Structure 1
């Protein structure tokens, strides 16, 4: 996932830029506006762009409110889908946001796509008259669609809604009651067995 390729318009090589990067200052950074690899996305879909410095708490607060019925699209209908996207070091944070949201909003269908996107960066040297450097990098990216409505299960990257199961409060209380009301003879037998085990020679 760390595959990167770089090309420069000036005579500065990639190795010398990495060694002397502290001497350069980035003045602009743009990403290509390629279409997302998920087919059938609406033009006004809720899109959460996750960056390396994004706060997961802020992203989830906004997305959760919109997906729980407090947001509407341009037609006035309730939002049914959200897309999370991130690239480079933001990929891991993107996946984290999606997994947390799936636990907050149940029954979400998911489609995940991996792809590459191109980033253009312009660096300038603090030295007077020194030429600047333009760098082009190809970084991994991820795009994840979450939908309340069913999606095509044949689409590569599809995941059905998660079934969250766990012990109910009633079952947990019954287990505690069984231990509390167990006969004294059983508790004594367990204690004797443990004492015998501890007294055995090693």
Structure 2
């Protein structure tokens, strides 16, 4: 018989990015999160038409994920950067402690508590400029993919990734 997880808790460590507003939009990405749902919500909040309770548009959003949610977190951020455009980014990697309690289906069998350390990522996206000297900073993308493709290589017979096969 297999053990069954009955609870999972993560440490509530503060964001590794300094100076975040207390009311910032925080998108927690989990392994089972649906990317389209996360992006629909975040995109609507970051669009110029979206206003908060004070009548101002949302200027920043933080995406965070841990364990198997890290790759999904990065995917969400990259898609949102293309949809909204002009976003400054700061990315921080860190570790989280996760506690899991498992119990056996057999009566009287002892349960197990496991403490694991898992990788995590926290990514701040901002319409406003961020400190370019902050580690993990990335400026907004300014070139479109087509412009980037054309600017890389001018040789017609080239087989580099910037060209479609001839």
TM-score between both structures, scaled by the size of structure 2: 0.84
Structure (1/2) with the larger helix percentage: 1
Q: What is the rounded CA distance, in whole Å, between the counterparts of 2:106 and 2:146 in structure 1?
A: 66
| 2:106 aligned partner | 127
| 2:68 aligned partner | 89
Residue by residue over 1:60-114, the C-alpha shift from the partner in whole angstroms, topping out at 9 and shown as x without a partner, is 0100000003444454421100000000000000000000000000100000000
User: Any stretches of 5+ residues in structure 2 without a counterpart?
Assistant: 148-166
Q: What is the rounded CA distance, in whole Å, between the counterparts of 1:75 and 1:165 in structure 2?
A: 34
- How many positions carry a matched residue from both structures? 147
Structure (1/2) with the larger strand percentage: 2
Query: Does 2:116 align with 1:137?
Result: yes
List structure 1 segments (4+ residues) > 2 angstroms apart after TM superposition.
69-77, 164-168
User: Any stretches of 5+ residues in structure 1 without a counterpart?
Assistant: 1-21, 169-202
Kept in 2, the 8 Å contact 1:109–1:146? The answer is: yes
Kept in 2, the 8 Å contact 1:115–1:140? The answer is: yes
Cα RMSD (Å): 1.4
The structure 2 residue matched to 1:165, chosen from 140, 144, 147, is: 144
Distance 1:24 1:70, change over 3 A: farther
| 1:114 aligned partner | 93
| 1:23 aligned partner | 2
